[in-house]
Structure 1
Amino acid sequence: GLAKADDAEVKGRPIGFTVKADRPSGVIALVGARVITMAGLKPGAIQGTPGVIENATVVITGNRITAIGPASSVHVPSGAKRVDVTGKTILPGIVDDHAHLGGEGDGLLAESSWQLAANLAFGVTTSHDPSNDTVTVFTNAELLRSGAKLGPRLFSTGTILYGAETPFKAIVESYDDALSHLRRQKAAGAISVKSYNQQRRDSRQMLVKAARELEMNNVPEGGSLLYMNQTHVLDGHTGVEHSLPVPRIYKDTIQLFAKSKSGYTPTLIVGYGGLSGEYYWYQKTNVWENERLLGFIPRDVIDPRSRRRVMAPDDDFNHILIARGAKQISDAGGLVQVGAHGQIQGIGAHWEMWMLQQGGMSNLEALRAATIDGARYLGLDGDIGSLEKGKLADLVILDKNPIDSIQNSEAIGMVMLNGRLYDAKTLNEIGNEQRTRKPFWWERK
């Protein structure tokens, strides 16, 4: 007959399996470029251009950097594939800490994801999605890690811990409730959770305590409420997602962020409190004519967002005021990082850098926010975010120098992820292995 629930003989049957994480073989040497390493750069105002090596050589063995420095001091092993990058600039791979990469909540996954590919083509090598379907996003993360799918390293909160009345409301009445929610998400693959509009402060505090116990990040969203944002910091959250909803901040809030070490992801592209940054770039650039962008994003996604654009005087755009506040927090030693919100995949991360520069950050400070500070926020700076011996080989090779002009960050010729080198225009692999990218659905005949 049927087994009873209390039958001691009833046991679960494991249905999981394991595959090896992708790792390339061989050695690649990138020779002759300027390298912006980000090594040693801490939050705070930057004087000059520290961490920049002219005429450098970077040696990658497998998926990690094994040597980096001036060309005169770095030995290139025999048998290495030498790539001449004279006159180019190499950056660490971009870290997008607030990347929404498409839902696919029906459980069906596309063989090739244009959202993921578009980000990689624009130099984003690590994405953190703070709201996505738990089943889908961690399945995608594993496919990416195994090499079965092409795109950035993917981390996520999974499904948000939502406090409002919805079918998926996360009820937190006790500390056990908080632990239960976080254990569920961690078991699925989450390194972080998103406490989203949990209205009771004690509920939010219990989620913070549970995150500490389980060694997870807690990246809350306050729904454009300044006082809630401030209590997020006071209560010890990892950071605050989205902008503070006021045009100006003062020393109390600046020091609160700086001294607490809670991070700030202002997502200027959708900044609260006024006309946001996304519309600025539609006004200033013909996005629908960006050929590289159109190589990875369907035109029926690009055109409706960009062709019929909002036009306004520059001083109507509130994101510039928000960016000035982010600069104040950064100068005081606070952690500010890039998050592009998935508004326009790939290029959105560059817009975030450009907007931080509009708020007063130097070009190098804006680049830091998109690389090492983004890695610090996730707790991944031991492996990514800067170009140093022993770190993972995630980097971007630019045809122009972004220290001269921040908008040169978009001039990407090649991108390397996990030691694999790709042509940024096609995402065909061009390193020690030669592979053509799988076609997207609209490219199939």
Structure 2
Amino acid sequence: MTEPVPAPAPFAPAPPGALVVYRGATLIDGTGGAPRPSTTVVADGERIVRVAPDAETDPADHPGAEIVDLTGHVLLPGLIDSHQHLATPPNRPVAEATLRRDLLGGVTAVRDMADDLREIGDLARAALVGEIPAPDIRYAALMAGPTFFDDPRTHQVCQGATPGRAAWMQAVTEDTDLPLAVARALGTSATAIKVYADLPGERVAAVAAEAHRQGALVWAHATVFPATPGEVVAAGADSVSHVTLLAHEAAGRPLTSYRDKPPVDHASLLGGDHPRIERLLAVMRRRGTILDATASMADRLAGEAAASGDAEARRRALDSSALSAALTAQARRAGVQVSAGTDCDPDPAQPWPPLHQEITFLVRRCGFSVEQAIHSATLVGARSMGAAADMGSVEEGKLANLVVLAGNPVADIARLDSVVLVVKRGRRHPRLEEQ
């Protein structure tokens, strides 16, 4: 009997025993600490086995290893985009091109925040085994109130199924069998339940409790309407998305529904010291709730509006950008963990991932040091997707996910756009050779 031939996996993780010694780099390790000059990182297959100063390592201790001289270069952990949508609507060629662009720009993992999980699941498998050049993908199945499911996006991701009834896109009411609903969602191989819209605080709490009981993470919009940010955090969300939604903690009237958002009093929030927001952020810090800020999203919208000549849309986007910067800076000062997510799917022909823009926004507009912003885009991102044991920092035992820069981003954050080599699970991807 002839065995079936598996699909080719030209980008598979490096096999055990494939030793590579990276020497001479200045290491920014993702923990938020200062750069470490003249550092050696040794990879065996897909794992890091040693990180030490050059002076304390001898390549002869690793017979047969390939030596890669990184003198004059900066070494980072693989970057993590904690907010992407890769299949709304599904378009496999565009998704693969986007993932390839992101990988060659240094992104080795992404958090997909609910899509058509039939396609996302296959993309995640293909990325993991190396059939396609792509970051690793962890993803969420969505739950929301029934009134949300006339949103056209839910129909885009449920072709052939019914929005609100599909395992990856479920409507939740007080009568829902939550153990069954969560089990159905996790049957898609989702890492998390994403709580989106039109649910009161007690229902958000019930979903979160059942998801945690079944071993899943809970990723939520920062305001779920009518659930307030404070209620979402108290319900046990592991991360909350979109920093500007935190503004609704200071709303002047009760929240009702996703489509009936009250106006935001920008002037009271731009000082970055609103007491209601300060109390919320203190709770987030104590609970370890991660803020997936998507801080630079409004800047991109302002650029799109300017290009189209829509002056009013540009004004609104610039107002939102100023609010985003003020609230993200306030979260940083309060000690909240901030991850770097984009919620942006630009033309894959663009040369660099939008995550570079998010990191730059954190530095230039939100008061983050370069090391703090890289920490947000690496270790905090890994925590947000439940993957910190394997990725997010350059440490022994973790995956050999590395980014080599020709320039120093500490001197100029624009030097993020100087990637020359990306290593994902020990497999090297030279940027110029694979473009």
Per the normalisation by structure 2, the TM-score is 0.78
CA distance in 1, matches of 2:324, 2:295: 7
1:355 match:
361
Query: Alpha carbons of 1:175 and 1:31: their partners in 2 closer, same or farther (altered >3 Å)?
Result: farther
Equivalent of residue 266 in structure 1, options 293, 306, 309: 293
Task: Give the superposition deviation at 1:307.
Answer: 5.5
Aligned to 1:144, what secondary structure does the other structure show?
helix
2:325 match:
323
Q: Which has the higher helix share?
A: 2
| Deviation per residue, 1:334-383 (Å, 9 max, x gap) | 11101111332652111111111111111111111101111112221111
2:251 match:
none
1:240 match:
240
Could you say what the CA RMSD is over the residues aligned between the two structures, in angstroms?
Answer: 2.9
Count of matched residue pairs: 373
Task: Give the superposition deviation at 1:279.
Answer: 4.2
Q: Partner letter of residue 355 of structure 1?
A: F
**Identity between Structure 1 and Structure 2 (%):** 22
Query: Alpha carbons of 1:367 and 1:314: their partners in 2 closer, same or farther (altered >3 Å)?
Result: farther
Q: Which runs of 5+ in 1 are unaligned?
A: 1-16, 42-49, 271-275, 283-303, 429-445
CA distance in 2, matches of 1:36, 1:394: 13
2:335 match:
333
Paired residues of 1:175 and 1:207 also in contact (CA < 8 A): no
Task: Give the superposition deviation at 1:206.
Answer: 1.4
**Within 5 A, what are the aligned runs for 1:396-411?**
396-411=403-418
Query: Alpha carbons of 1:140 and 1:404: their partners in 2 closer, same or farther (altered >3 Å)?
Result: same
1:371 match:
378
Task: Give the superposition deviation at 1:171.
Answer: 3.0
CA distance in 1, matches of 2:182, 2:133: 29
Residue 42 of structure 2 corresponds to residue 59 of structure 1: yes
Residue 138 of structure 2 corresponds to residue 143 of structure 1: no
Q: Partner letter of residue 277 of structure 1?
A: D
**Within 5 A, what are the aligned runs for 1:282-297?**
282=303
Q: Which runs of 5+ in 2 are unaligned?
A: 1-5, 151-161, 165-169, 248-265
1:441 match:
none
Per the normalisation by structure 1, the TM-score is 0.76
Aligned to 1:220, what secondary structure does the other structure show?
strand
CA distance in 2, matches of 1:33, 1:330: 29
CA distance in 2, matches of 1:266, 1:90: 25
CA distance in 2, matches of 1:398, 1:278: 25
Residue 85 of structure 2 corresponds to residue 100 of structure 1: yes
Task: Give the superposition deviation at 1:136.
Answer: 0.8
Equivalent of residue 30 in structure 1, options 22, 27, 42: 22
Q: Partner letter of residue 255 of structure 1?
A: A
Task: Give the superposition deviation at 1:410.
Answer: 2.0
CA distance in 2, matches of 1:147, 1:101: 18
Paired residues of 2:224 and 2:232 also in contact (CA < 8 A): no
Aligned to 2:344, what secondary structure does the other structure show?
coil
Paired residues of 1:347 and 1:410 also in contact (CA < 8 A): no
Task: Give the superposition deviation at 1:306.
Answer: 8.8
Query: Alpha carbons of 1:315 and 1:213: their partners in 2 closer, same or farther (altered >3 Å)?
Result: closer
Query: Alpha carbons of 1:70 and 1:305: their partners in 2 closer, same or farther (altered >3 Å)?
Result: farther
**Within 5 A, what are the aligned runs for 1:14-413?**
22-25=12-15, 26-39=18-31, 41=32, 50-76=33-59, 77-103=62-88, 105=90, 109-110=92-93, 113-158=96-141, 160-163=142-145, 164-166=148-150, 167-169=162-164, 170-174=170-174, 177-221=177-221, 228-245=228-245, 246=247, 247=266, 248=269, 249-250=274-275, 251-270=278-297, 276-279=298-301, 282=303, 308=308, 316-344=318-346, 346-357=352-363, 358-413=365-420
CA distance in 1, matches of 2:367, 2:422: 28
| Deviation per residue, 1:380-399 (Å, 9 max, x gap) | 11110000111100111011
Query: Alpha carbons of 1:315 and 1:140: their partners in 2 closer, same or farther (altered >3 Å)?
Result: closer
Task: Give the superposition deviation at 1:204.
Answer: 1.4
Task: Give the superposition deviation at 1:318.
Answer: 3.2
Mean Cα deviation higher: 129-138 or 172-181: 172-181
CA distance in 2, matches of 1:241, 1:314: 20
Task: Give the superposition deviation at 1:132.
Answer: 1.0
Residue 429 of structure 2 corresponds to residue 422 of structure 1: yes
Paired residues of 1:320 and 1:355 also in contact (CA < 8 A): no
Q: Partner letter of residue 352 of structure 1?
A: E
Task: Give the superposition deviation at 1:316.
Answer: 4.0
Query: Alpha carbons of 1:361 and 1:128: their partners in 2 closer, same or farther (altered >3 Å)?
Result: same
Query: Alpha carbons of 1:112 and 1:373: their partners in 2 closer, same or farther (altered >3 Å)?
Result: closer
Q: Partner letter of residue 264 of structure 1?
A: L
Query: Alpha carbons of 1:316 and 1:133: their partners in 2 closer, same or farther (altered >3 Å)?
Result: closer
Q: Partner letter of residue 372 of structure 2?
A: E
Query: Alpha carbons of 1:175 and 1:365: their partners in 2 closer, same or farther (altered >3 Å)?
Result: farther
Mean Cα deviation higher: 149-158 or 246-255: 246-255
Task: Give the superposition deviation at 1:57.
Answer: 1.1
Paired residues of 2:24 and 2:40 also in contact (CA < 8 A): yes
Q: Partner letter of residue 214 of structure 2?
A: L
